[in-house]
Structure 1
Amino acid sequence: MTNTTQDTVTATERPDLLEVLAHQRHFLRFTTRDLTDEQAGQRTTASELCLGGLIKHVTSVERNWAAFILNGPSPADDFKNKTEADFARRADEFRMLPGDTLAGVLAAYEEAARRTDEIVTSLPDLNADHPLPEAPWFKPGARWSARRVLLHIVGETAQHAGHADIIRESLDGAKSMS
């Protein structure tokens, strides 16, 4: 592939990635329309998940992967170094805690999204890659490019938007994705 062809692919790829990600983010946020803070924290299924917690989780995921794109893995990403406190903090991502508000959760998500979008538009090369941290769910020695990370963020957001749709429908019958 010539540089001109590669430049054209990259020029169209970035807007496509941003558009798909924006679409998935919209559906996730849309599930919280017209809800109170209490409703955003309410469990409506057998799972521990609530709408506010899902958005908190996706925010954290997006922030962490954006940092990975720029800096590679950090020592805190290494699964074998995790403590019980680390796992407790992660569990708190999935629920609304005292003091959390839906407006605050959504604002934090918007900020994480803005930062990711900024990275997508400014990163010199979407092929830039880093080794993944050690974790049972990653192939040993695997590396992910910025492009692969962005596709993962899209997939994670879409998956949780589907979860959120089920939770919202169970909450009050409102549907987001149908």
Structure 2
Amino acid sequence: MTSEHDELLHMLNEQRRMLRITMRGLTAADAVKRTTVSELTLGGVLKHLTRGELGYTHILTEQPGMPDGMLDTGQYVWDGDSFEELLAAYAEAGRATDAAVRAADLDKLVPMPPAPWDPNPEPWTIRRIVLRVFQETAHHSGHADIIREALDGASTTAQLFSD
């Protein structure tokens, strides 16, 4: 029998794996290319998800204040310094999230920081925070898949079968 923690993290890690497949074989130059009318780039999506994981881990471990960069308006912009470092930062953020979730009581309520869209937020359970990270990862993985397909025709689904 697996715990609810295991089930939630399994699903989140599957979404992270899909994003890593989408990023497979990219260069830093590829990761900064816009391939649609959107400002989104693959590097920008990865940067956004990394910051989101770090931010929500900051919140669920009840560290004071708003996490650095969580509301940064340039969060989707990535200047292309080192794609390898960006991938490593995403992996590290995921490990930190997983460790914090494993150590937490999923029913525990934690205060949420005020944000422009919710100046007086209600507390969230750890479970809800994990589900939000999952939702964000799945949502932006879909964006990444479209950007990648427009970039070079690579399909995440097709790449699943080449593992």
Structure 1 length-normalised TM: 0.80
In the alignment, which of 105, 116, 122 is matched to residue 103 of structure 2?
122
1:147 — aligned with what? 127
2:15 — aligned with what? 24
Q: Which amino acid letter does the alignment assign opposite residue 160 of structure 1?
A: H
What is the CA–CA distance in structure 2 between the aligned matches of 1:119 and 1:65, rounded to whole Å?
10
In the superposition, relative to structure 1, how do residues 164 and 133 fare at CA in structure 2: closer, same or farther (>3 Å)?
A: same
Shift of 1:73: 5.5
| Aligned partners of 1:73 and 1:130 also within 8 Å | no
RMSD value, Cα? 2.1
What is the CA–CA distance in structure 1 between the aligned matches of 2:121 and 2:151, rounded to whole Å?
43
Where do 5+ consecutive residues of structure 2 fail to align? Answer: 159-163
In the alignment, which of 33, 36, 43 is matched to residue 42 of structure 1?
33
Q: Which has the larger radius of gyration?
A: 1
Offset from partner CA, 1:77-136 (integer Å, 9 cap, x none): 6xxxxxxxx79x8243312215x211111000000001111112122x111112222224
Q: Which structure carries more helix by proportion?
A: 1
Q: Which amino acid letter does the alignment assign opposite residue 97 of structure 1?
A: D
The 5 A counterparts of 1:74-153 are: 74=65, 76=66, 90-97=72-79, 100-123=81-104, 125-138=105-118, 140-153=120-133
In the superposition, relative to structure 1, how do residues 137 and 92 fare at CA in structure 2: closer, same or farther (>3 Å)?
A: closer
1:83 — aligned with what? none
Q: Which amino acid letter does the alignment assign opposite residue 79 of structure 2?
A: L
| Aligned partners of 2:47 and 2:75 also within 8 Å | yes
**Matched-pair identity in %:** 41
Offset from partner CA, 1:41-88 (integer Å, 9 cap, x none): 1110111110011011100000010010011551x36xxxxxxxx79x
Q: Which amino acid letter does the alignment assign opposite residue 139 of structure 2?
A: Q
Runs of at least 4 residues off by over 6 Å: none
Shift of 1:143: 1.2
Where do 5+ consecutive residues of structure 1 fail to align? Answer: 1-7, 78-85
1:15 — aligned with what? 6
Q: Which moved more, 1:11-20 or 1:43-52?
A: 11-20
What is the CA–CA distance in structure 2 between the aligned matches of 1:24 and 1:53, rounded to whole Å?
17
| Aligned partners of 1:132 and 1:138 also within 8 Å | no
1:162 — aligned with what? 142
| Aligned partners of 1:66 and 1:116 also within 8 Å | yes
In the alignment, which of 55, 73, 92 is matched to residue 64 of structure 1?
55
Q: Which amino acid letter does the alignment assign opposite residue 32 of structure 1?
A: M
